[in-house]
Amino acid sequence: MTELNSISYEIIGCAYKVHAELGPGLLESTYESCLLFELIQKGFHVQRQKELPLIYQNHKLDAGYRIDLLVENKIIVELKSVDSIAPIHEAQLLTYMKLSKLRLGLLINFNVCDLKQGIKRRVL
């Protein structure tokens, strides 16, 4: 878990950098592109819009789920640019974590004045 904590710390630091430069009010895809850039600059392996299949009755189905950013094949990063994080956003992150069998996820809402208020960290 120490490695996951270290990686999540770096991800959050990159998110703060993006938010400090861009501020709130832009499209989610803009923040996604910029955070991807920052993480790659830090040397992380990052997959963008990673397909997440659903296994139903032993059949792999494409249900249209996509992880915004998957960092080091270990941490899911779901991004939002909304007025406030709703329970459905947190449920989405938890569902992605369960489907992928990953233990750590970050939900980051960039549409806030203070990014600290827009970050949710979840562990399974």
Cβ atoms of 76 and 97 closer than 8 Å: yes
pLDDT tens across 35-86, in order? 999 999 999 999 999 999 888 888 888 788 999 999 999 999 999 999 999 9
| The amino acid at 41 | Q
Cβ atoms of 49 and 66 closer than 8 Å: yes
pLDDT of residue 77: 98
End-to-end CA distance of the chain: 11
Angle at the Cα of 87 from the Cα atoms of 84 and 91, rounded to 5 degrees:
125
Average pLDDT, the chain: 95
pLDDT of residue 54: 85
State the average pLDDT over residues 6-25. 97
Asked if residue 13 has pLDDT above 90, the reply is yes
pLDDT of residue 88: 95
pLDDT of residue 64: 82
Domain boundary assignment for the chain? 2-123
